[in-house]
Amino acid sequence: MWNYSEKVQQHFFNPSNSGVLEDANGVGEVGSISCGDALKLFLKIDPASEIITDARFQTFGCGSAIASSSALTEIIIGKSIEQALRVTNQDIADYLDGLPPEKMHCSVMGAEALRAAIANYRGEVWADDDHEEGALICKCFGIDAGMIERAVRVNKLTSVDEVTNFTKAGGACKTCHEKIEEVLGQVLTVMAAEGVIDTVPAPSCPVAPSAPIHKPMTNLRKIQMITAAIEDLRPTLQRDGGDIELVDIDGDTVMVTLRGSCVGCQMSSVTLSGVQERLMSVLGKPVRVIPAEAA
């Protein structure tokens, strides 16, 4: 099953701040029983300082949903609501030493409940505008069917390559190309029926054959291959306003710097693991990709 971190297990088996907060003045409720997870977050906010003095949660959901709720309350107690609103789902995941890609939606639910509770405190109506949906398609980059559908619709994409360029889905280990093709086919069929596009183009899926490695790789060859693979990835990241630079290679450790909008991006750790997958598939051997500043 899942490889939950020690932190996730700790917060699941012994959650902090679970239960009802009777004198809460901000309550956020998100999720539903049909989705399989739901979270009710209670906040006690000091009206003078707008500091969250206490928080409690009730969660219906899996191990990581309960752990994310527990982590969320620990993160936000003592923060002002302005500071709390800057807490992202990635902060929750990081606090738990990471979540499996399939479980990132649990941290999203935590971040949404926080916003809903603060909106409730302020007397506002909270509207969920970016609820993740659909089956997880690309495990390397954590891209779900909903995200692919939106990219296809907005940009009228017609090939797997284009989907990869716009969403990064399928850009690393390449094992999800059949699934991407399927989502693409469905969306295009619907779009054709709606009259948004004329005909359904046959999805094409050109997969570059990776060079078989017969003899031991020289250091020079390895550096060339890593450099070329990083160069290949840059246009994808640049399209999102980001960039990546190769800093150094030490044995099997590849040090890179993320630039542009990748800096501080919630998905940067996912991006790095995607780069790692890509390098491993190009080199045919394990490597570790780390941010240069961590080295």
Beta bridge partners of 147: none
**Residue from the set 7, 16, 35, 150 that interacts with another protein by CB under 8 A:** 35
Q: How far is the CB of 293 from another protein (least distance, A)?
A: 32
By CB under 8 A, residue 183 contacts another protein: no
Task: Say whether residue 29 binds another protein (CB under 8 A).
Answer: yes
The residue among 103 and 222 lying less far from another protein, judged by its C-beta, is 103
Q: Does 149 bind another protein (CB under 8 A)?
A: no
| Burial of 244 from C-beta contacts in 10 A (0-12 / 13-18 / 19+) | buried
Rounded to the nearest whole angstrom, what is the least distance from the CB of residue 26 to another protein in the complex?
14
Q: Cα angle vertex 282, ends 280, 286, to 5°?
A: 20
Q: Binding to another protein (CB under 8 A): which residues in 103-132?
A: 103, 105, 116, 126, 128, 131
DSSP-derived secondary structure letter, 31? E
Q: Is 192 exposed, middle or buried (0-12, 13-18, 19+ CB in 10 A)?
A: middle
**Residue 35 is a catalytic residue:** yes
Q: Tell me the closest approach of the beta carbon of residue 268 to another protein, in angstroms.
A: 22
For tokens 């280990």, what's the residue? Answer: 173
Site membership for another protein, residue 48 (CB under 8 A): no
Instruction: Please report whether residue 59 would count as binding another protein according to CB under 8 A.
Output: yes
Among 11, 15, 108, 179, binds another protein (CB under 8 A): 15
User: DSSP label at 80?
Assistant: B
Q: Considering the rule CB under 8 A, would residue 32 count as an interface residue with another protein? A: yes
Q: What is the DSSP string of 244-282?
A: EEEEEEETTEEEEEEEETTTT-TTHHHHHHHHHHHHHHH
Q: Does 136 bind another protein (CB under 8 A)?
A: yes
The residue (of 112 and 277) whose beta carbon lies closer to another protein is 112
**Phi, psi torsion values for 189, nearest 5 degrees:** -60, -45
63 near another protein, rule: CB under 8 A: yes
CA distance 96 to 112: 17
Structure letter (DSSP) for residue 101: G
Name the residue with tokens 């980001």: 242
- For position 163 contacting another protein by CB under 8 A, the verdict is no
| Contact of 41 with 114, CB cutoff 8 Å | yes
Which are the catalytic amino acids?
A: 35, 106
Which residues lie near another protein (CB under 8 A)?
A: 1, 9, 12-13, 15, 18-19, 28-40, 58-63, 65-66, 100, 102-103, 105, 116, 126, 128, 131, 135-136
